[in-house]
Amino acid sequence: MLRLAFVTLIVSAGIHSEFAQAQIDGLGDNGWHTWQVEAVAGAPDTCCFTWKNGEATQKQCNLDQRKGGFSTSDRSVSSDDGLQIYALIEAGTVNRVRAFSSSCPVASESEIIDLGRIETEASVNWLRPLIGGDATSNVIAAIAVHDGATARNALLDSAKVGNDEEIREDAIFWMAQVRLDETGDEIKGYIFNDDSAAIREHAAFAYSQSKAVDIADTLIRQGENDRKPDVRSHAWFWLAQTEAAESETAIHNAMLNDENEDVREEAVFALSQLPEDRAVKALAAILEDTALQMDIREQALFWLAQTESDEAFEYIDELLSDN
């Protein structure tokens, strides 16, 4: 838990004077406080949702629920809507932070003190000292969806070498999700050049979940060149998850050519993660290739059975009857 920083914020007239003074003094009223900020372009619509026929409908979020209970939809926050930041202060300590779309209905058993709309820079500067405390993940997520260079720079600074690895991972994830145009080069640097294998692996995962146009090329490059077998294996797994057209060829080549036995086996597993019809076809091709080592073919048979598709079982039945 972190005490509120002794910082003076540039706030709009909408902020309650007692809250502004509390920020200066390092104290704050107990309970939930909320304020509105401008969202970065493409920030996801975050709320609690009910889903019907693939369509998301907002429902009320309970701020008193400590974990989970909220998610993002495929929609983006509109420029007219903005973001609502919520901070729970208890005995002068910020214990929880949430960021929701301003249209998201929320409730708490305690009073929610509304501070109005404030400048994004002021909000980021208030949140930033909380990084490293108990609410770090949610603080970084909240900062990420603020508009402006101050928020971007806070993410870049958090992702730098030398910071706690979990903080770096959170920052890199959100850079990929909502600030890709501004931070894509830095993310590529983490994927290919970071000294930490865990960071290289996590950055590749974050990139695979982004809207980048070169996800497949990036994962193939990492899968072919990373010095750590585990990182290469995960690159092939995430490539299969993308469903990119080039997945089968690249992963099959890794199965044939990687110097590490574990990576070769993991490549077979990665093929099983393709869409079902493609997975069955790719695994069946391995089984039919008598030039391959028996252990690789056995792996293909095992994962083929795990697909539990009718096509796979028909193929296995035919294979057994022929023998």
Domain with residue 272: its CATH number is: 1.25.10.10
- Say how many CA atoms lie within 13 Å of 192 toward its Cβ: 13
Least confident segment among 28-32, 51-55, 202-206, 318-322: 318-322
In a domain, 156, yes or no: no
The mean per-residue pLDDT over the stretch 211-230 comes to: 97
pLDDT band at 56 (very low <50, low <70, confident <90, very high): low
**Do 97 and 221 share a domain, yes or no?**
no
In a domain, 180, yes or no: no
In a domain, 155, yes or no: no
Number of Cβ within a 10 Å radius of residue 155 = 24
**Do 140 and 2 share a domain, yes or no?**
yes
Over residues 110-135, the pLDDT tens digits come to 889 888 888 999 999 999 999 999 89
In a domain, 282, yes or no: yes
**Do 125 and 228 share a domain, yes or no?**
no
Domain that holds residue 57: 1-147
Please give the pLDDT value at position 80.
65
Last residue of a domain, one of 147, 168, 191: 147
In a domain, 319, yes or no: yes
**Do 23 and 139 share a domain, yes or no?**
yes
In angstroms, rounded to a whole number, what is the distance separating the alpha carbons of residues 192 and 189? 5
Contact (CB, 8 A) for 150 and 125: yes
Judge whether residue 243 has pLDDT over 70.
yes
Last residue of a domain, one of 147, 171, 189: 147
Last residue of a domain, one of 132, 147, 162: 147
In a domain, 128, yes or no: yes
**Do 114 and 218 share a domain, yes or no?**
no
Please give the pLDDT value at position 309.
77
**Run of H or E residues at 112:** strand 112-117
